[in-house]
Amino acid sequence: MTVKRKRYITRVAMFIAAICLLMAMPVTAEVALYDGKPYLHVIHEGRSIKVQRIQDPGYELKGYFAKTARKCPPFCIQPITVDPAVKTIGEIEIFNFMENDLREGTGILIDARTPSWHKKGTIPGSVNYPFTLFTQDENAERRDAILRDFGAKPRQQPGLIEKTMQELGLSDNRYLTDRWDFTNAKTLVLWCNGPSCGQSPRAIRGLLMAGYPADKILYYRGGMQMWQLWGLTTVIPES
């Protein structure tokens, strides 16, 4: 074998070894969702969407959600809590909610903004229920249908035994109102444009007024602004 041929074989072998090494290397995200969690999948409008952070270290947020000033009112900084009984959550809790409650069908991620906002882009896995559905009297009938979709059951007049048990405190009344049984109602996470957005707080107050249990409502105050600030996946709704 000539020296030239030996060199050629060595080069080919090194090239194959490099390819094998590259293929064996795990594809991991440099910018993970959090420690040990590079990404997750969530179903949005029947599609599996990979939720991850933008991997470009030079990426900077631009456009509307990079703005620091908006006219106040109405775009005023919101308190950290909407109601003392409603828990406020952050991104990690949203990730867990996506992987557990959404997948199990025990929770709903609600984009509480008006449809014109929703159409501009949303958080994967979200369903658009504009806040006006929960605040305007003319939507009362539709609101009832939505509450049923959320797992609430309209209540019949309680029988004598049930009434007596309730009066004696022998039955669990926590999730009962005059009109609704919220025992099997889903956990709702509501969000809107971010800390200076009043749309999801309005929706939450409307739900509370309809009797929805506060411990089944979660408020993601960061909303679209924080979601985009972290460079997290967004989707343009098809419907």
When computed from its CA atoms, the radius of gyration of the chain, rounded to whole angstroms, is 25
* Strand partners of residue 126: 109
User: Is 180 in contact with 62 (CB distance < 8 Å)?
Assistant: no
Residue 228 interacting with another protein (CB under 8 A): yes
With CB under 8 A as the contact rule, which of the stretches 3-11, 141-149, 183-191, 196-204 interacts with another protein? 196-204
Nearer to another protein, 125 or 176 (CB): 125
Q: Report cis status (omega within 30 of 0) of the bond before 73.
A: yes
| H or E segment to which residue 8 belongs | helix 3-24
Nearer to another protein, 39 or 93 (CB): 39
Nearer to another protein, 88 or 234 (CB): 234
Residue 205 interacting with another protein (CB under 8 A): yes
Q: Per CB under 8 A, which of residues 82..121 are in contact with another protein?
A: 99-100, 103-105, 114, 116-117, 119-121
Q: How far apart are CA 208 and CA 146, in angstroms?
A: 14
Helix (H, G, I), strand (E, B) or coil at 232: strand
Residue 69 interacting with another protein (CB under 8 A): no
Q: Per CB under 8 A, which of residues 122..151 are in contact with another protein?
A: 124, 132, 135-137
Residue 48 interacting with another protein (CB under 8 A): yes
Which residue of 78, 187, 199, 200 would you call a contact of another protein, by CB under 8 A?
199
Burial of 158 (0-12, 13-18, 19+ CB in 10 A): middle
Q: Give the number of residues in contact with another protein, rule: CB under 8 A.
A: 47
| H or E segment to which residue 153 belongs | strand 153-154
Q: How far apart are CA 157 and CA 49, in angstroms?
A: 44
Tokens read off for 94: 């949203």
Q: Which residues bind another protein (CB under 8 A)?
A: 23, 26-27, 39-41, 43, 46-50, 52, 54, 63-64, 70-71, 74-75, 99-100, 103-105, 114, 116-117, 119-121, 124, 132, 135-137, 198-199, 202, 205-206, 228, 231, 233-236
